[in-house]
Amino acid sequence: MSYTGPDFEPPQPRRSPLRRPLTVALAALVPGALLGWGVYAAVGGPDDGDGGGADRAGAVRTPAAPSSDGPGPASGAGDAKRPAGSPTAPTSEAPSASRPPASGALKGKVVVIDPGHNPANFQHATEINRKVNVGNHWKECDTTGTATNAGWPEAKFTLDVAHRLRDLLEEQGATVKLTQDGDRSYGPCVDERARIGNEAKADAAISIHADGSGAGNRGFHVIMPGPVHEGAADTRAIVAPSAELGKRVAGSFVRVTGTAPSNYLGDGTGLVTRTDLGGLNLSTVPKVFIECGNMRDSTDAALLTSGSWRQKAAEGMSEGIVSFLRG
3-state secondary structure the chain: CCCCCCCCCCCCCCCCCCHHHHHHHHHHHHHHHHHHHHHHHHHCCCCCCCCCCHHHHHCCCCCCCCCCCCCCCCCCCCCCCCCCCCCCCCCCCCCCCCCCCCCCCCCCCEEEEEECCCCCHHHCHHHHHCEEECCCCEEECCCCCCECCCCCEHHHHHHHHHHHHHHHHHHCCCEEEECCCCCCCCCCCHHHHHHHHHHCCCCEEEEEEEECCCCCCCCEEEEEECCCEECCEECCCCHHHHHHHHHHHHHHHHHHHCCCECCCCHHHCCEEEECCCHHHHCCCCCEEEEEEEECCCHHHHHHHCCHHHHHHHHHHHHHHHHHHHHC
Q: Check 154, 291, 315, 319 and give the catalytic one.
A: 291
The answer to whether 258 touches 326, Cβ cutoff 8 Å, is: no
Catalytic residue list contains 154 = no
pLDDT value at residue 103? 56
- Neighbouring CB atoms inside 10 A of 306's CB total 16
Residue 74 and residue 144 in contact, taking contact as beta carbons nearer than 8 Å: yes
pLDDT of residue 148: 98
Give, for all 327 residues of the chain, the pLDDT tens digit: 333 333 333 334 444 444 444 343 434 433 333 333 333 333 333 333 333 333 323 333 333 333 333 333 333 333 334 333 334 445 444 444 444 444 589 999 999 999 999 999 999 999 999 999 999 999 999 999 999 999 999 999 999 999 999 999 999 999 999 999 999 999 999 999 999 999 999 999 999 999 999 999 999 999 999 999 999 999 999 999 999 999 999 999 999 999 999 999 999 999 999 999 999 999 999 999 999 999 999 999 999 999 999 999 999 999 999 999 998
pLDDT at 37: 33
d(CA 29, CA 33): 6
Domains, in order of start, for the chain: 54-326 (3.40.630.40)
Q: What is the pTM of this model?
A: 0.72
